[in-house]
Chain A
Amino acid sequence: MIEEELPAWSLPADAVERIRAGWPDRVTREWAWGDATGAGVRVCILDSGVEPGHPRVGEVHGAVVIEVEDKEVTVTDDEEGDLCGHGTACAGIVRSLAPECELWSARVLGAGYTGSGDVLLAGLRWAVEQGFDVVNMSLSTTKRKFAATLHELADQAYFKRTTIVASAHNMPVESYPWRFASVISVASHEDEDPFTFYANPEPPVEFFARGVDVEVAWLGGESVVSTGNSFATPHLTGICALIRSKHPELTPFELKSVLYLTASNVAEER
């Protein structure tokens, strides 16, 4: 008879624990995020930085810049803000949906094209280590050499209860990380309601959110009207933040299930 404990991945019959999910018979939007504000949820925007003090963004809890030099990764406080406007736009969208969430910025762009893949990986690794609840990735890479590591990081995030929300590609190319099953992938629909999102019965793109003619924050405290999957993504990030603030216990798997059940083309009530 073996005396040692059984491996962690097996489950003897007498060890089965009853899980009390506490989900209602019908999962509604009211149950999922009614009265939620995003309070207590930490959201990281992995992008071009976020402009501090932008009226559409409000408080940015922390902002870092990720750099890689000779394989040496450095993470320092970001003094420059946003180099493009895009990260600020994403932060503003998340803030508009989840006004009380804790927003963080990790700048992974701006150090040139050549090293951008390494910086992206380092940025995602940092975000996973920090244990954010939701990470917004309105970006992708087509370089196959990064795919395996990105996949590993996405799985790590998944098991550490960090939900990665990533922009899908609407061009016929292989790109990552949105194609991984462990992340939530988002493309655009044309409706104007920020809370309208659709589940896609034909993945790999899993959800469609608002991404056309969206008024967003931009540089200099200004706003622009913009279109792209990269703006659909923070809409779903915001909704994820709301759900996690009301149901902090949810795993990425459960969160995705709630999204599916409350999607505009799945839910029975609007």
Chain B
Amino acid sequence: MSEDLRAAVGAGVLGSEDAYRDLLRSIVEVARAIFGAKASSIFLLDEDTDELVFEAVAGEGADELVGTRLPSSTGIAGWVLVTRQPLVLDDVRSDPRFSRETAEKTGFVPQGLMAVPLLYDEQALGVLQVLDRPQRSRFSLREMDLLGLFASQAAIGLQLLRAARHARAVLGEGSGDAGVLARIAGLLETLDGEQRQSAIRLLGELEHLLGS
């Protein structure tokens, strides 16, 4: 079975893209709450255009930022993505260039940020940022570890979102064979009882007929 066919069939039974968006949104909300920060956001790397896209935002700038794009290797988020290294910066008021990406879009100028790469297997999928946590004390490596844990969770969410999008894309390309299979897989999920049994029996016969 080709990867695209697999994806299309998966699309029939996978949760909707909205569900994964909700998951990412929930991750940034929790990250923001735990660190007591003003805002938190997740960028997804769009490999086709080599850009970072705001995928989920909690707090300041939430409405304006989702969907906006930045170059993938400039600025803090780009550095974190390309180098796979987490970075924490505080007390950055003095440098307006530091925050221009966000500031230009929202007028919100962060004074500090934590940024961590979202890594899944060998891929860098995006970046998680936490903006303006209260600077009441020295930063601790424990906070860095916590950020890393959130990043692992966010990376899984992001990977699921990518898989769902890929599956939908395959379906949307009008690939006839894949589309039929996906629709059947989706319909099968909605059936129960005798109807479902009959459908599965019928598909079993079809499988037999096709020489499996």
Q: Give A residues with C-beta under 8 Å from B.
A: 48, 83-86, 109-114, 116, 138-144, 167, 169-175, 188-190, 212-213, 218-220, 222-230
* Complex Cα gap A179–B127 (Å): 23
**Residues B145-172 near A (CB distance < 8 A):** 145, 148, 151-152
Q: Mark B59-102, 1 if CB is under 8 A from A, else 0.
A: 00000000000011111101101111111111110111110000
Interface check B185, CB cutoff 8 A: no
Interface check B188, CB cutoff 8 A: no
By a CB distance below 8 angstroms, the chain A residues around B47 are: 113-114
By a CB distance below 8 angstroms, the chain A residues around B76 are: 84-85
Which residue of chain A lies nearest to B71 when distances are taken between CB atoms in the complex?
Answer: A112
* Complex Cα gap A139–B82 (Å): 8
Instruction: Determine whether the beta carbon of B89 is less than 8 Å from that of A225.
Output: yes
Interface check B190, CB cutoff 8 A: no
Q: Mark B108-139, 1 if CB is under 8 A from A, else 0.
A: 00000000110101111000000000000011
Which residue of chain A lies nearest to B77 when distances are taken between CB atoms in the complex?
Answer: A84
> Which range holds the interface residue count of chain B?
35 or more
* Complex Cα gap A220–B93 (Å): 12
By a CB distance below 8 angstroms, the chain B residues around A171 are: 86, 116-117, 119, 148, 151-152
Instruction: Determine whether the beta carbon of B92 is less than 8 Å from that of A212.
Output: no
Contacts A/B (CB < 8 Å), 17 sampled: A84-B75, A85-B98, A109-B79, A113-B81, A116-B73, A142-B84, A142-B121, A170-B86, A171-B117, A173-B84, A175-B84, A218-B92, A218-B95, A220-B95, A224-B91, A225-B90, A227-B87
Give the Cβ gap from A79 to chain B, nearest Cβ, in Å.
16
* Complex Cα gap A114–B117 (Å): 15
Instruction: Determine whether the beta carbon of B122 is less than 8 Å from that of A174.
Output: yes
Could you say which of B50, B95, B144 contacts A113, with CB atoms under 8 Å apart? Answer: B50
Greatest chain A CB density within 10 A among B74, B79, B88 is at B79
Interface of B, helix, strand, loop or mixed by DSSP: mixed
Q: Give B residues with C-beta under 8 Å from A.
A: 45, 47, 50, 71-76, 78-79, 81-92, 94-98, 116-117, 119, 121-124, 138-141, 144-145, 148, 151-152
Instruction: Determine whether the beta carbon of A212 is less than 8 Å from that of B122.
Output: no
For the A-B complex with A213-B138, A228-B87 known, give 20 more contacts whose Cβ atoms are closer than 8 Å. A48-B79, A84-B74, A86-B87, A110-B73, A112-B72, A113-B50, A113-B78, A114-B72, A116-B73, A138-B83, A169-B84, A171-B148, A188-B141, A220-B95, A220-B97, A222-B94, A223-B94, A224-B95, A230-B83, A230-B87
* Complex Cα gap A226–B91 (Å): 9
4 nearest A-B pairs in the assembled complex, by CB-CB distance: A139-B83, A227-B88, A113-B72, A112-B50
Which residue of chain B lies nearest to A167 when distances are taken between CB atoms in the complex?
Answer: B85
By a CB distance below 8 angstroms, the chain A residues around B148 are: 170-171
Interface of A, helix, strand, loop or mixed by DSSP: loop
By a CB distance below 8 angstroms, the chain A residues around B139 are: 212-213, 227
Give the Cβ gap from A184 to chain B, nearest Cβ, in Å.
16
Which residue of chain A lies nearest to B120 when distances are taken between CB atoms in the complex?
Answer: A173
Contact A230/B84 with A110-B74, A111-B73, A112-B73 known, Cβ cut-off 8 Å: no
Instruction: Determine whether the beta carbon of A172 is less than 8 Å from that of B97.
Output: no
Give the Cβ gap from A118 to chain B, nearest Cβ, in Å.
12
Instruction: Determine whether the beta carbon of A84 is less than 8 Å from that of B78.
Output: yes
Give the Cβ gap from B54 to chain A, nearest Cβ, in Å.
16
Instruction: Determine whether the beta carbon of B92 is less than 8 Å from that of A109.
Output: no
Contact A226/B87 with A109-B82, A114-B47, A218-B98 known, Cβ cut-off 8 Å: yes
Instruction: Determine whether the beta carbon of B145 is less than 8 Å from that of A226.
Output: no
Which residue of chain B lies nearest to A172 when distances are taken between CB atoms in the complex?
Answer: B152
Instruction: Determine whether the beta carbon of B98 is less than 8 Å from that of A224.
Output: yes
* Complex Cα gap A226–B115 (Å): 11
By a CB distance below 8 angstroms, the chain B residues around A190 are: 138, 140-141
Give the Cβ gap from A241 to chain B, nearest Cβ, in Å.
21
Contact A86/B79 with A170-B145, A228-B86 known, Cβ cut-off 8 Å: yes
* Complex Cα gap A154–B148 (Å): 28
* Complex Cα gap A241–B117 (Å): 30
Give the Cβ gap from A61 to chain B, nearest Cβ, in Å.
23
